[in-house]
A and B are shown apart, each in its own frame.
Chain A
Amino acid sequence: MRKKRTLAGTAAFGLALALSLAACGTEDAGDDSSPDSASEGPGGFVPPDIAMADSLGDNEGTLSVLAWPGYAEDGSTDKAVDWVTPFEKQTGCDVSVKYFNTSDEAVTLMKSGQYDVVSASGDATLRLIAAGDVAPVNTDLIPNYADEYDFLKDRPWNSVGGQMYGVPHGYGANLLMYNTDVVKPAPTSWRAVFEDASTYSGKVTAYDSPIYIADAALYLMKTQPDLGIKDPYALDADQLAAAVDLLKAQKEHVGEYWSDYLKEISAFESGDSVVGTTWQVIVNYTKANVEAILPEEGATGWSDTWMISSKTEVPNCAYAWLNHIISPEANAAVAEWFGEAPANPKACDLTSEGFCDGYHAGDESYADQIHYWTTPIEQCLDGRTDVSCTTYQDWTQAWTEIKG
């Protein structure tokens, strides 16, 4: 499922949507921003005028949910894991859940108008907003919103011009995990998997996706300022080449790339891997002496938002769902099942002991060090206009080349 999350990287990244919209002028977003205003960046685009609910009425009785696998469990996977049924009982809204695997799918499906709410990642949100597929959200109608961490509100990927288009749901970072019995001294930097990878040659692991190039770019951004990398997702051809070289050198020492939980857990438990990038949830499940750190360079990561379709015929149930899913109970259940930091601090009272500390929930300085996954596109996301940046397609081919 998290593996699918990287697939999310496929989708074109929303932040630069305005730029691109103006550049090709073909999207069906009702946005008429001129190239000039668009070049001002994310703030420069005007979303289509869609009415926002200003009051709520009676629940309509049905709700169609479009979600990442694991975000809307109704007990069918595991009887004990269920935060959909309580919602149905409370609100009388009958829920049908559809899972999607990539942000692209989510965007396509939302266009059909068949779904009322969606859990969107940072690489889908602004596309949905600009296309007019999701409506602005009146957070006053969502009591639990007030409890959420302030640093997750009004961010570029979930709001436009101070107007929220959804409610923050959860976030996480890609950490550096190592086997404490083998890797000594404890690493503090991503250097452990790049320049120092030879120390544990054959037992280094890395995430198997083109998006992992951003991890290398982040490292270069901090260690080789000459390259001029400002944003790990905005790489021109030279910067990409530097990242590719770094990863090719790393590959010599990589035992295997991992793409799913179980693969990395089993590799660390058996000793096939001893150091590499990881997620908190993997650390928690690994029954070996491992530790994970947020290295001094910071890390890549993800952040998700629940949004409401602009075409929904059941706005009351939709608002009820948004309120429910960020309620302490549901938010805690999702966070634990999925393995990420909850967006509602009150959820931390309900999670198992030490859970929120483990995921650094609410630690703002920790969250600030995360460079959230976004899809690289031709228009540089860091605002450069004198060069064109490499696209995710370029990254995909580069990744093939790195693995050889």
Chain B
Amino acid sequence: MSGVLHRHPRLRLGLLLGPPMLWLGVAYLGALAALFITALWTADGFTGNIQREWTLDNFKDVFSLEVYRTITIRTLLTAVAVTVIDAALAFPVALYMAKVASPRAQRLLVIAILTPLWASYLVKAYAWRGMFSADGPIAWLADPFGLSTPGYGLVATVVTLAYLWLPYMILPMYAGLERLPNSLLEASADLGAGARVTLRRVVLPVLFPAVVAGSIFTFSLTLGDYIAVKIVGGTNQMLGNVIYDNVLTGNNLPFAAAVSTIPVVIMLVYLAAVRRTGALDNL
């Protein structure tokens, strides 16, 4: 057996690749494909049973009704804002962890960054609800300065999501920077490059794919979120809410499937755009 495998690398490849491909390529892609076929059907208003008559009505509704455009733009802007905030916050932290902190401190910092991931997402979101409330800690801190809490709304949503997904941005950036040898930085300095040039020519090429990798998390997690926005978003709704409501309260899977194409297309376009950067190897 072993010998056969040894002599036939293709066979080895086939055996290695087979199970994951069956799982992801057949089962997962199949499920996605089925979902999008469902989008071309309708659901019976009484039983919620799916009626297999081909129609483009769901897509027509999604793309013609203004409300879905508004929600898409709101969701997209939220995702962009969350990503930018996370990247801006993560850079100095990751740089400190990778290049300043002692090995021991590094290890402790990684633990400190990873630990919040274990605190329940829901509990953290609710904690931010407490922070933003009219008599919560933010209002309490802002009051002496004559300011007030922004209250529940998009600002609170962006802050909460940025908070929730921050570790997903710090970790790839830290990994990227850590891989950057100190000798390379020193060499750059020795060759007379200033900090700015080194940053641009040496650090950024390493950092960029890491940021993109992190942004895939922050972007997709934000695009699919429907819980945090319910907790701190005031009256706002996101694409995730529309999908959730149509599946679980509206009993209208076909329409939910049609709405789902929006975040899927956004993510596929994004993945295609960043594929060349090598970011996908950095996740």
Residue positions of A touching B, CB distance < 8 A: 6-7, 9-12, 20, 24, 27, 102, 104, 202, 208-210, 251, 254-257, 259, 262-263, 266-267, 270-272, 377-378, 391-397, 399-401, 403-404
Closest CB of chain B to A299's CB: distance in Å? 20
Q: In the complex the two chains form, is A396's CB within 8 Å of B252's CB?
A: yes
Q: Which of B134, B230, B236, B242 contacts A259 (CB 8 A)?
A: B230
Indicate if the CB atoms of B152 and A391 lie closer than 8 Å: no
Cβ contact within 8 Å between A270 and B152:
no
Contact indicator per residue, chain B 252-264, by CB within 8 Å of chain A (1) or not (0): 1001000000000
Contact segment of B22-30, B40-48, B167-175, B191-199: B40-48
A-B contact count (CB 8 A): 98
Q: Are A10 and B48 in contact (CB under 8 A)?
A: yes
> What's the least CB distance linking B161 to chain A, in Å?
17
A391 nearest CB neighbor, chain B only: B45
Interface residues of B in 227-256 (CB under 8 A from A): 230-231, 233-237, 242, 245-246, 248-252, 255
Closest to A210 in B: B249
Given contacts A10-B251, A256-B235, contact A208 B230 (CB under 8 A): yes
- Contacts from B to A (Cβ < 8 Å): 43, 45-48, 61, 65, 67-68, 70-71, 126, 129-130, 133-136, 151-152, 230-231, 233-237, 242, 245-246, 248-252, 255
Among all A-B residue pairs, the 7 with the closest Cβ atoms:
A396-B250, A391-B45, A270-B133, A12-B46, A256-B234, A271-B134, A10-B251
Contact A10–B248 (Cβ < 8 Å): yes
Q: What residue in chain B is nearest A127 (Cβ atoms)?
A: B47
Residues of B contacting A401 with CB < 8 Å?
65, 67
Residues of A contacting B251 with CB < 8 Å? 10-11, 104, 392-393
A104 touches B133 (CB 8 A): no
Query: Which residues of chain A are within 8 angstroms of B47 by Cβ–Cβ distance?
Result: 12, 27
Could you tell me the dominant secondary structure of chain A's interface residues? helix
Nearest A residue to B74 via CB reads A404
Contacts of B252 in A (CB 8 A): 393, 396
Sample 29 A-B pairs with CB under 8 A, ordered by A number. A6-B249, A7-B248, A7-B249, A10-B251, A12-B45, A102-B248, A104-B48, A104-B251, A210-B250, A254-B235, A255-B152, A256-B233, A257-B235, A266-B129, A266-B130, A267-B133, A270-B134, A270-B136, A271-B135, A272-B152, A377-B45, A377-B46, A392-B250, A393-B251, A393-B252, A396-B246, A396-B249, A399-B245, A404-B237
- For A259, the chain B residues whose CB sits under 8 A away are 230
Judging by beta carbons under 8 Å apart, are B130 and A256 in contact? no
Verify B237–A403 contact, CB threshold 8 A: yes
Give Cα A263–Cα B252 distance, bound, in whole angstroms. Answer: 27
Contact B248 A404 (CB under 8 A): no
A270 to B67, alpha carbons, bound, how many Å? 31
Query: Complex Cα distance A283/B234, Å?
Result: 21
Pick the most buried of B70, B134, B255: most chain A CB atoms within 10 A of its CB: B134
Q: Across the interface, name the chain B residue whose C-beta is closest to A4.
A: B248
Q: Which residues of the other chain, A, contact B250 by a CB distance below 8 angstroms?
A: 10, 210, 392-393, 395-397
Contacts of A210 in B (CB 8 A): 245, 249-250
Asked whether A391 lies within 8 Å of B248 as measured between CB atoms, the reply is: no
| Whole-angstrom CA separation of A395 from B231 in the bound complex | 23
| Residue pair A400, B46 in contact (C-beta under 8 Å) | no
Residues in chain A near residue B43, CB distance under 8 A? 393
Q: What's the Cα separation between A391 and B45 when bound, in Å? A: 6
Q: How far is the CA of A260 from the CA of B185 in the complex (A)?
A: 54
Chain B CB within 10 A, most for which of A104, A263, A272: A272
List, in ascending order, chain B residues with CB within 8 A of A403's CB. Answer: 235-237
Of the listed residues A6, A9, A391, the one surrounded by the most CB atoms of chain B closer than 10 A to its CB is: A391
Residues of B with C-beta under 8 A to A267: 133
Asked if B151 and A393 sit within 8 Å, CB to CB, the answer is no
Which residue of the partner chain, among B48, B65, B68, B151, contacts A12 with CB atoms under 8 Å? Answer: B48
Interface-centre pick from A104, A399, A404 (highest chain B CB count, 10 A): A404
Q: Which residues of B contact A394 (CB under 8 A)?
A: 45
> A239 to nearest B CB, angstroms?
17
When distances are taken between beta carbons in the complex, the residues of chain A under 8 Å from B242 are: 400
